[in-house]
Amino acid sequence: MIDSYTGKISAVVEFVRDITEKVKTEKQLKKYATKLKQMNEELEHRVQKQTEEIKNAERLRVLELHHRIKNNLQVISSLLNLQSEKFNDDTVNEAFRDTQNRVISMSLVHQKIYHTKGLESINVRDYIEDLIEHLISLYNGEKTLVKIDIQDTYFGIDTIIPLGMLINELVSNSLKYAYPEDKYGELNVIFYESNPGLYTLIVSDNGKGIPEDIDLDNPSSLGMQIIKSLVGQIDGDLDVDGNNGTTFIINFNG
């Protein structure tokens, strides 16, 4: 458009100026967007780094806690062993040894957590195998053929501790009482996931069997009271079969 007074093409000049300002604005916006993206990435990186540092600090704290618990339990076990040496009564010594084994079964859990660098889930098979190996050596179980069939699964500390103590009671009782001194026996420990989220533990031997007069609902022996209590801790069901030896079957939700 030509100005009638000046004779200049004013509309074209204004149009070009508008385009130039628009391009300039778009470039500025892109620059700001790039800068903002960079700042966001830096912020996300910083947050991620701080989160990892917090996680590592917490993991180290948990590791140290489990290490201290393990050491304290081992001290208790040693004290029990020293105290038992002051008594000549076999019944008293056996009670000390049983208590010591219960402490050791808990100590093994914290040891496993410590050696797996703070993972809160424990491999059930590894733990049970170590526990049974300890019990066999303690009770001179050379005359007992122990067969272990454990599914490779993982449990948290709230489940693995009562489960380990339960296995400790069942296996210890079998190694101590199932067979006369001159008889060889067989002990089976089976653990598997029978249904999704439902687990089954079976501990069986071909020994002399459980006493017929035992009341599973109101047991009088400390061992059976502990077994019943531990089954309750994992919200399990207990069945006992006294035919051809003794079989304990525990079903529980993992």
Residue 16 has a pLDDT of: 53
Write out the two tokens for 122. Answer: 């424990």
Q: Are strands 154-156 and 185-195 parallel, antiparallel or unpaired?
A: unpaired
Our CA dihedral for 213, 217, 218, 224, rounded to 10 degrees, sits at: 80
Residue 149 has a pLDDT of: 95
Domain limit, last residue, from 119, 144, 179 = 119
Neighbour-count burial for 26-45, b at 16+ CB within 10 Å, e otherwise: eeeeeeeeeeeeeeeeeeee
CA separation for the pair 26, 153 (Å, rounded) = 59
**Structural domain count of the chain:** 2
Q: How confident is the model at residue 151 (pLDDT cuts 50, 70, 90)?
A: very high
193: β partners = 199
Residue 88 in this model has a pLDDT that exceeds 60: yes
Q: Are strands 185-195 and 144-150 parallel, antiparallel or unpaired?
A: parallel
Q: What is the CATH number of the domain that holds 247?
A: 3.30.565.10
Q: How many residues are given for the chain?
A: 254
CA separation for the pair 86, 35 (Å, rounded) = 77
Same domain, 196 and 72: no
Same domain, 76 and 126: no
Same domain, 125 and 50: no
Same domain, 70 and 163: no
Domain limit, last residue, from 60, 91, 119 = 119
Mean pLDDT of 195-203: 95
Same domain, 27 and 75: yes
Residue 101 in this model has a pLDDT that exceeds 50: yes
Same domain, 168 and 238: yes
Residue 2 has a pLDDT of: 46
Domain extent for 136? 121-254
Same domain, 168 and 237: yes
pTM: 0.67
Lowest-pLDDT range of 144-153, 175-184, 237-246: 175-184
Cβ proximity of 205 and 141 under 8 Å: no
Mean pLDDT of 80-90: 79
Residue 15 in this model has a pLDDT that exceeds 70: no
Q: How confident is the model at residue 243 (pLDDT cuts 50, 70, 90)?
A: confident
